[in-house]
Amino acid sequence: MPRVSKAPELRRQELMDAAEALVLQKGYDRTSVSDIVKAVGVAQGTFYYHFDTKLDVLGAVVQRELAELDEDLEAIAGDEALDPLSQLRLLLEAIFRLIDEHNELIVEVHSDSNVALHHKLMTATAATIAPRLARIVARGAQGGAFSAVAPAETADMVVGMLMVLVEDPDLRANPSQHRRRRDAFGAALRGVLRLPDAG
């Protein structure tokens, strides 16, 4: 059967979809470019038309997930029908959902061999979260739900704590230890914003 010719962007998205599914199923190291092109049904040359390496397609997948997170967080931060506590909860849930659903990709991005990609994506992640969180903190502080003298700077501190969780080496290796760090983040956040205890 002859291969179907598709628009370049559509083919690129198909390669990214296949790479993401295979990495989540088999792990990054056990996924090859041959696996990816076989899943899509194209020649290896098609892959190298869009990406230089397997790592490049991984970076593109993570950037796509960040773009979706960006849309989600903007919708949450801009929804003034929600009270600030609800906005904060939904924002954190969206971030943790991304971490949980894509931990294989995140761990690979943070490996010592991917320093440049790691720095680029960590900077992009912080830039995605910080302004939305700052708006929520400012609104909560103005209405008395939070205590924050400097909302933007407070948001930066919280993002810094979140980045510790994103970079956590125990994300996959020791899930129970990662859970304890996540619980510690929640306790620290309640202290920083003087939030009521969840229980």
Alpha helices, H only, the chain: 8-26, 33-40, 44-50, 54-77, 84-101, 103-109, 115-143, 151-166, 170-173, 175-193
For the cut 80, the answer to whether the pLDDT of residue 198 exceeds it is no
Higher pLDDT, 113 or 125: 125
For the cut 60, the answer to whether the pLDDT of residue 81 exceeds it is yes
Between the two ends of the chain, the Cα-to-Cα distance in Å is 60
Three-state SS for 43? Answer: coil
Q: What dihedral do alpha carbons 151, 130, 97, 169 form, nearest 10°?
A: -110
Question: What is the band of 135 on the pLDDT scale with cuts at 50, 70, 90?
Answer: very high
Domains in the chain (CATH in brackets) are 8-50 (1.10.10.60), 54-193 (1.10.357.10)
Q: What pTM, to 2 d.p., does this model score?
A: 0.83
For the cut 70, the answer to whether the pLDDT of residue 100 exceeds it is yes
For the cut 80, the answer to whether the pLDDT of residue 3 exceeds it is no
Q: Which of 26, 22, 25 is nearest to 37 (CA)?
A: 22
For 195, which DSSP code? P
For the cut 90, the answer to whether the pLDDT of residue 120 exceeds it is no
